[in-house]
Amino acid sequence: MLYTLRSTPIRTAIAARYGIKVYTPIIYQYVGTPESEADLRRLVRDLLRDFPDIAGYVLLTEGFWYKAWGGGHGASKEYIEDWARHWSHAVGVVAEECHKVNPAIEILPWEYNIDFRPQNVETKRYFIQQLPQDTIPLLTWENGKGFEIDGFHGHLRDYAINQVGPAEVTDAQIAEARQRGMKVYSNAQTFSCGAQLQTVPYQPFPQQWHARYEALAAFGINGTLESWSSGYAPSFMTELRAWYCWSEAPALEDLLRQIAARDFGAANAQEVVNAWDIFSQAIRLAPDTGPYMGTTNAIGNPIFFQQPPARTATFNHSWMDQSMWMGYLGAEVNPYWPFTVTRLVFIPDFTNQSNRAESYARSVSGIEAGPEEKVLPVFLKYLRLATDKMEEGLAHYRSAALQSPEPKRAGALREVIVAEQIQRMLLSNQAILTFEDLRLRLMAERDAPKAGELLDRMEAIVREEIARTELALLAVTHDARIGFQYECDYVYTPYSLNEKLEVLRETLELQLPAYRAARNE
């Protein structure tokens, strides 16, 4: 397995003494000029001199790129192939300088953010064709994996465990690398749980993860990166991964039963294994993929009926571009809910010109459908199926925890809370999107009795969300791991959940009754 860290000579020397290999990224913008190449060579030589024990360098396109940063989405074939050739040349420069000093140093080019949709197989294959022979391509395993859901075709938008993988583009890249006689490494993401449900400390879907480990082995992957930026995080899932990095590991059922017996008591082991199996079935149904509101911040995201007051400065009438300020290359602060980054916040279109619930369902599922086709109903259907399946598993999980021996009970209940928080996230995802869809229908509804029915449903959703948020508040108050995501810090905290509860209560007790009264005048 590969670990990346900000290294110092002392740390790398100590790691080498214990047989631990240290890998690190190289950050560089190569622009294709002789001067740029000379500077890159100088940088690599300095690294080799100052950090002689580093075993390999990761050349990720998010930090090691040619001319312009980005994946070139929408660019011409000629542009992408030119970019690939120059980027691969820079990769070759690093490899050449490293191998002059130590031929055993591994150079891992990783073209992560180049379009990984299923239709981009030939472009991704082209990147492998350009790489120097003495490098090891590091491939993103599942991103872009195609799937079908009730007749719609979608693809994974980012790291997600609901699909085993590999993606179609990864399959093609592996085949190309094998044809060239190259090793292949891949990012399997066990330690950081990928980007799906990333504000829980781990994902208790061991049978689904094991299916991925089997697929990695079946495709002959020579090494895996288990966490790109967060490092090792202890859980029974990382323990499981450690076993299946080696040959002759115990049979899955036997190993899971032993882990369950240790954590919940021997008498409850089979019930726990059954719960994990049901959880693994549940995640396969979840259509929300990638690091977005629904699987990261839904339990922390308010339900807005009316446009809320700005909680931070706004720049709508000044020289600063508000949309850029809120965007990826700005501060990523949403003035209406500034407790996490903008991309994790769902804000309705209060002009009522567009259904952001529908556009959200399309975006995060990767479904490409015509404007006349509605994706949201199918999206909500599968969210409901996933939450129902989670509840089925939780019945077993709660029972096992409550019956566990007294010395194990506190730990067992912590395991249950993690699974419950996953279900709450999926339920809040449904609530936010359903409420917004109803809100738009309400704004267009002219029939008073039908409007009243819509308001009744919306009130019920808010009441349920209040109860769910209160349980989440209790959970995060007792377990600081919940709500944290290493790249965004704390996505939701007890403070922000209390703020959300204030919004929900104002919606339920003031805004909805006032709107109902106005409609009835």
CA distances from 104 to 364, 368, 435 (A): 41, 45, 57
Q: pLDDT tens digits, residue range 38-73?
A: 999 999 999 999 999 999 999 999 999 999 888 788
What are the structural domains, with CATH classification, of the chain? Answer: 9-250 (3.20.20.80)
Count CB-CB contacts under 10 A for residue 273.
25
Asked if residue 279 lies in contact with residue 393, where contact means CB atoms within 8 angstroms, the answer is yes
Alpha helices in 102-205 (DSSP H): 121-130, 168-179
Query: Has residue 323 got a pLDDT over 50?
Result: yes
pTM, rounded to two decimals: 0.94
Q: What is the mean pLDDT of the chain?
A: 93
The pLDDT of 435-447, averaged and rounded, is: 97
C-alpha 86/C-alpha 39 separation (Å) is: 15
With 0-12 CB in 10 A as exposed, 13-18 as middle and 19+ as buried, what is 507?
buried
Query: Has residue 102 got a pLDDT over 90?
Result: yes
Ramachandran class of 489: left when φ > 0, alpha when ψ lies in -120 to 50, beta otherwise: left
C-alpha 44/C-alpha 53 separation (Å) is: 14
Angle between helices 121-130 and 77-101 (to 10 degrees): 30
Per-residue pLDDT, 196:
86
Q: pLDDT tens digits, residue range 246-304?
A: 889 999 999 999 999 999 999 999 999 999 999 999 999 999 988 899 999 999 999 99
Tell which residue, 381, 350, 334, 266, has the closest CA to residue 496: 334
> 161 or 5, which is more confident?
161
What sign results for the dihedral spanned by CA atoms 220, 22, 29, 488? Answer: positive
Q: pLDDT tens digits, residue range 117-169?
A: 999 999 999 999 999 999 999 999 999 999 999 999 999 998 999 999 999 99
% of the chain residues with pLDDT over 90: 82
Instruction: Using pLDDT thresholds of 50, 70 and 90, give the confidence band for residue 4.
Output: very low
The pLDDT of 26-45, averaged and rounded, is: 98
C-alpha 53/C-alpha 487 separation (Å) is: 28
Asked if residue 130 lies in contact with residue 90, where contact means CB atoms within 8 angstroms, the answer is no
| Cα radius of gyration rounded to whole Å, the chain | 25
C-alpha 493/C-alpha 230 separation (Å) is: 19
Alpha helices in 163-205 (DSSP H): 168-179
Q: pLDDT tens digits, residue range 364-403?
A: 999 999 999 999 999 999 999 999 999 999 999 999 999 9
Count CB-CB contacts under 10 A for residue 514.
12
